[in-house]
Structure 1
């Protein structure tokens, strides 16, 4: 996987939401992404029709069939609108999102979980991957991409 360098300010205005992260919006075309971020370098397609781009700021963008379908953040300075971040506890996720946070066991970590908060109408949402105690990654995306556990799979 090749990397690119994007400077995301480490400020609360860079919120992860069901619609995306910063200037990267779920559903935007690869062309629009390229126009807004002309310096991006893409990885080779691992799965036909799917690309992932990872930067040194802890942000990964998934593009399927030419459109952004998921954004992943791995750094603690990025927040949701409810102030959840990498490092927040599972209890904080549940307190912030209540019954809307649907809990599933992680596929490869017997202690880990995923919490999904999905808008039924748009089929977009956010998810939180945990190690059983704390959030290790956060995602924004649309179904089914939001639920992939191995990149584009």
Structure 2
């Protein structure tokens, strides 16, 4: 709990119960052909250049904004615990994302936290890119994408 208090002013957090089994949620998070379909805020599309889904693996992609701008992204997966946790470090701007997964019968609880280096950096990213709203939209796109997938 102490860590949570220390990062509270420099993090964005969202949690939700998804109407899909954990195996399917994990698959759409861990496979580039899936994540390219739902990642990012509303109106964004993606081109995944590399997604080496393992500890130390790189994730390089471009988010294509509805405004026609391209937003290159580079991350490194720091910790992957199958069906439990994904931690990655994003560069420029720098932040650490932790996504926790919990199976609950045929549903999955997802707990998603993004921690920036400073409160000022978080506020800058919120002002420039609406990162807080973008995280909500990203999770909504994930839920919608999952609803269209065939059961495993």
Q: Same fold (TM over 0.5)?
A: no
Greater relative contact order, per chain length (Cα 8 Å cut-off, separation 6+): 2
More helix by share: 2
> What TM-score do you get using the length of structure 2 for normalisation?
0.28
TM-score (norm 1): 0.28
